[in-house]
């Protein structure tokens, strides 16, 4: 009797220990789930960055997207950070990065080996090298392969919103 009570008390404790120590949760997409985010036809501006924690220039430009998020808070601007970190290394890479950074940005993980199909769909000019950034509003699109700074992002936003 006592034993079973003990189990009833201990079981939830044990189960909670079993959970991830960090509460970081990232949605995992394949390309079919990501695709709608790259082709929205609202009057908002969408900024989509392809990055990974192991990519040094990606980490360098990460703050520019956070700055954008802050500066354009009152505008119709939506930022999505698409991580290409290795799915089997998230505990060592993406999760600690998000936890330490306490970022406000929306991060998803793209786990889809069919790269030869989806890279072309993101933008026909993209070689697949990281980082890469897509800025669009309706049918007006700017795609940048390679690192960006804050001004590049503002210029791209101005370009798509003026067309």
Residues that bind other proteins (CB under 8 A): 50, 52, 54-57, 84, 86-88, 113-116, 119-120, 126-131, 145-146
For residues 34 and 109, is the Cβ–Cβ distance under 8 A?
no
Measured from the CB atom, the residue of 38 and 55 that comes closer to other proteins is: 55
Smallest distance, Å, CB 158 to other proteins? Answer: 22
Between residues 128 and 138, which has the closer beta carbon with respect to other proteins?
128
Q: What is the Cα–Cα distance from 59 to 137, expressed in whole angstroms?
A: 25
Residue 53, phi then psi, degrees to nearest 5 = -65, -25
CA distance 29 to 122: 14
Q: How far is the CB of 56 from other proteins (least distance, A)?
A: 7
What's the min distance (Å) between Cβ of 53 and other proteins?
10
Residue 139: what are its φ and ψ, rounded to 5°?
Answer: -90, -5
């Amino acid at each position: 009797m006592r034993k079973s009570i003990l189990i009833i008390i201990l079981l939830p404790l044990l189960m909670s220990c079993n959970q991830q120590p960090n509460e970081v949760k990232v949605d995992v997409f394949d390309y079919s789930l990501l695709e709608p985010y790259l082709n929205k036809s609202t009057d908002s501006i969408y900024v989509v960055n392809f990055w990974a924690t192991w990519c040094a220039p990606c980490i360098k430009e990460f703050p520019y997207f956070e700055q954008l998020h802050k500066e354009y808070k009152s505008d119709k601007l939506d930022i999505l950070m698409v991580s290409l970190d290795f799915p089997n290394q998230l505990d060592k890479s993406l999760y600690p990065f998000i936890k330490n950074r306490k970022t406000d940005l929306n991060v998803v993980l793209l786990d889809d080996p069919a790269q030869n199909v989806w890279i072309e769909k993101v933008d026909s000019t993209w070689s697949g090298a990281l980082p890469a950034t897509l800025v669009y509003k309706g049918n007006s699109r700017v795609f940048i392969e390679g690192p960006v700074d804050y001004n590049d992002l503002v210029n791209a936003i101005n370009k798509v919103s003026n067309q």
